[in-house]
Amino acid sequence: MSEKAPGIYKPLAVIVAIIAIALAIWGSVTFAAVSGLIWEKGPAVWSWGAAFLSLGFGFWRVVGGIFWIVGTALFIMELAGFTIRNGRIVRQVIKWDSIDIAIAALVAAIYGGGLVATAGLIVIPGFTWIRPANMLSPVFGILFGIPGCVGLAFGNLIADALGGFLGFGSIGGFIGNFILGYIPYKLMKDPSLRSSRSVFEFYLWGVLVGSVWCSLYIAWWLDLVQAIAGLPPLFIWGWFAPFVMVNNAIVTAIVGPALAYVLYPPVKRWGLHWSDRITFIEKS
């Protein structure tokens, strides 16, 4: 995004928000449809899952594969201490001192504990939740950077354990949730949420791209390790992927920007914001 007139972001933000919310509503209708057991007659034509499947498994396996490979590469690179900055790979120093450990652990506890304590929104017991705590994921990413993303990854493991599906598939959820925080952290140029451009960036990267990437990442992994995780491809691509995508989009679109807006100043004041805790080593 170049230096365009700031005025353009306001209508753009509104449009992206409307798209996100529309997708969210479409998605909720789908789940109502599926949980209403109309599957046997074939998925209803207007449903989200049907739209997914109409493109074919092949399409999703290729697209998901690209997201998966890029996502995994980014994850490994970041934890090995490298990052992309201004189009170049540079070294970054995250101290992983006590404060970073504390941030990651508390993010994980809030994410995991939040999912349990707010589990009043279970759609189908035991398996599918609207997860209100998911609203926190892009927010944690843009506030705390890599320690926040690592916290999200571990928090998802705890949430999986408390939801009863901690297994081999959780490895995908681990990195998928890392990415959910990582995308807005890395791609939002203005994380303050105090300009219409910043809000637009939040919707674009934090809500749309983040949700899509995370869900395709996990789905592709589940599909890859099908023999181990034991979930049918029809379920993975026709139900799970759209569900995760829509759940993340709904909860982050509705409240994400407000949360990030409120939390930015105190986090900055206490010196916990990632920009105060990280140094980049750029070779000149």
Contacts of 269 (CB under 8 A, 6+ apart): none
Q: Based on the shown chain and the rule CB under 8 A, indicate whether residue 259 belongs to the binding site for another protein.
A: yes
Q: Which of 14, 24, 52 is nearest to 219 (CA)?
A: 52
Name the minimum Å distance from CB 29 to another protein.
11
227 binds another protein (CB under 8 A): yes
Residue 228 contacts another protein per CB under 8 A:
yes
Name which of 83 and 134 has its Cβ closer to another protein: 134
Per CB under 8 A, the list member of 65, 167, 171, 196 interacting with another protein is 167
Using CB under 8 A as the binding rule, whether residue 207 contacts another protein is answered as no
DSSP state of 206: I
209 binds another protein (CB under 8 A): no
Query: Which positions ≥6 away from 184 have C-beta within 8 Å?
Result: 138, 141, 142, 191, 201, 202, 205, 206, 210
Interface with another protein (CB under 8 A), residue from 72, 118, 195, 196: 118
99 interacts with another protein by CB under 8 A: yes
Candidates 64-72, 116-124, 191-199, 212-220; binding stretch for another protein (CB under 8 A): 116-124
Total residues interacting with another protein, rule: CB under 8 A: 76
Among 5, 45, 164, 284, binds another protein (CB under 8 A): 164
Residue 187 contacts another protein per CB under 8 A: no
Backbone φ and ψ of 188, nearest 5°: -80, 125
Q: Which stretch binds another protein (CB under 8 A): 182-190, 192-200, 207-215, 261-269?
A: 261-269
Encoded amino acid at 115, one letter = L
Q: What are phi and psi of 89, to 5 degrees?
A: -85, 125
Give yes or no for residue 219 binding another protein (CB under 8 A). no
Please name the residue ranges forming H helices in the chain: 9-35, 48-54, 56-79, 98-117, 137-163, 170-187, 196-201, 210-224, 226-229, 233-235, 241-269
Which backbone phi and psi does 88 adopt, to 5 degrees? -125, 155
Among 154, 200, 203, 205, binds another protein (CB under 8 A): 154
For another protein, which residue of 19, 77, 209, 254 counts as binding (CB under 8 A)?
254
Sign of CA dihedral 104, 122, 226, 57: negative
DSSP structure class, residue 83: E
> Binding to another protein by residue 84, rule CB under 8 A?
no
